[in-house]
Structure 1
Amino acid sequence: MTDYEVSVQQLNDLLTDENGDFCMPSRDFNEVYPGILLGNERVATNVRRLRQLGVSHVLNAAHGDSHAHVNTGARFYAGTGIVYHGVPANDTDHFDLGAYFAECSDFMERALAHGSGGGRVYVHCQKGYSRSATLVAAFLMIRRGMDVRGAVATVRERREIGPNDGFLRQLCQLGDGLRNEGEQEHKND
C-alpha cells in the first residue's frame, strides 16, 4: 500500500454527506467549472439539448456498447458541429483511467479554447458520477494547477459525485506526480 500526500479516505470524506453516505446526482448535468458541464447519458444522447446548452465538444468517459457504456461516437454527432472524444472506461477499481488523463485534459482544454468566445464541453459517463467526474478532476489538476483535494472539492461543490476508490487512488498518484514535477522545476530554476 502506497501512502499519498492526500489519502483516498480523505477524498471520500469530501464526497459524503454528514452521515457518511454518498449521494446520487440530483440533476442530469451541472456546470462544475466555467465551460465544463458534467452529466449523464440522457443529455449526451439528446443533440437538441446539447445545442441549447451551447456544447461544442462531448467527452464520453463510457464509450462502448456494453450495458455499462454509452454507445455514441463521432458518427452519432456527425453533422451537428459537435466534436467527440471517447474513452472506453469501465467503472471498476482496477481500470487504469489515469492512462487517459493527459489526452482528456488536452481535449477539454481545446474545447474551452474553441471559437472566438470559447467552447463548452459536456463530459459524461452513464450517470456523470464516477468516470467522468474523475476526468474533470484530473483536468483541473493538470490544466488549472489545483491539488487533488481542491479539484475534487471544486467538482463536488457543484455536483454529487462518487468516483470509485481506484479512480481516487489514481487522482492521488497524479497529484503526487504533479507535485514532484513542480519540486523538480523549482530545483532546476
Structure 2
Amino acid sequence: MAEFTNIQGHDFQKPLVDGETTLNKLSKALIETKADCKPMPGFDMDRDGTNYYRLQQDIDCDEVYPGIIIGDASTAKNKKYLIRIGITHVLNTAEGNRFGYVGTNREFYSDTNIKYLGLPLADLPSVDISKYFHTAANFIEDALSTSSGN
C-alpha cells in the first residue's frame, strides 16, 4: 500500500475535521446530488435531430455563468470548437507540459483571435492559488466586458 503520510508537509492519513468520508457518506452524496442536465455549449439537441453524443466524447465543458465556460484540457485544445461557440478568452489554470497540466500556451492560440492567460498551477491542495486571484479576475472581467461590447 502506498505511503501518503507527510507529502509536502501534509498528513493525508490524519482524520478529517468533520470525520472520515465513509463509503456510505460518499454513496449517499452521489445518489442524492442532482444537477441540471444541460447540453454542452454549442450543441442544440433539438436543432436537427442529430445525435451529438459522439461529438461530445473528446470535450467536456459547462457554462457556469453567462459568458463563462469551464472545460477540460481536451476542450481547451479544440480551437475549432472554441471558435464555433464564440470563445474570446482562455484562462488556463494548469499551464505546463508535465503530467496533469494542459499543454497549451499563448503560442498555441496565436492563429486565432483568442486571448490567453496561463497560470502554472498544479491541481493539488497544497498549491497557493490565491496569489493569482486578482490576475485571473482582471482577465475574466476583460473577457466579459469584451463579449458584452463594453
Equivalent residue number for residue 146 of structure 2: 114
Secondary structure in 1 matching 2:74? helix
Equivalent in 78, 87, 97 of residue 55 of structure 1:
87
Deviations 1:45-97 (A, max 9, x none): 01000001100000001100101100101100002000000111111111001
Unpaired segments ≥5 residues, structure 2: 1-16, 19-24, 41-59
Equivalent in 104, 112, 117 of residue 80 of structure 1:
112
Paired residue type of 1:109: E
Q: Equivalences for 1:120-131 in 2 at 5 Å?
A: none
- How many residues matched? 104
Equivalent residue number for residue 30 of structure 1: 62
Report the CA distance between 1:102 and its aligned residue. 1.1
Equivalent in 28, 34, 40 of residue 19 of structure 1:
28
Equivalent in 99, 110, 119 of residue 131 of structure 2:
99
Paired residue type of 2:66: P
CA gap 1:35/1:116 in 2 versus in 1, 3 angstroms? closer
Equivalent in 85, 90, 96 of residue 64 of structure 1:
96
Paired residue type of 2:103: N
Percent identity over the alignment is: 37
Secondary structure in 1 matching 2:132? helix
**Higher Rg of the two aligned structures:** 2
Equivalent residue number for residue 44 of structure 1: 76
Equivalent residue number for residue 140 of structure 1: none
Secondary structure in 1 matching 2:107? coil
Measure the CA separation in 1 of the matches of 2:147 and 2:131. 28
Q: TM-score, normalised by structure 1?
A: 0.49
Deviation above 6 Å: which 4+ runs of structure 1?
Answer: none
Report the CA distance between 1:117 and its aligned residue. 3.5
Paired residue type of 2:29: G
Larger helix proportion of the pair: 1
- C-alpha RMSD of the superposition: 2.9
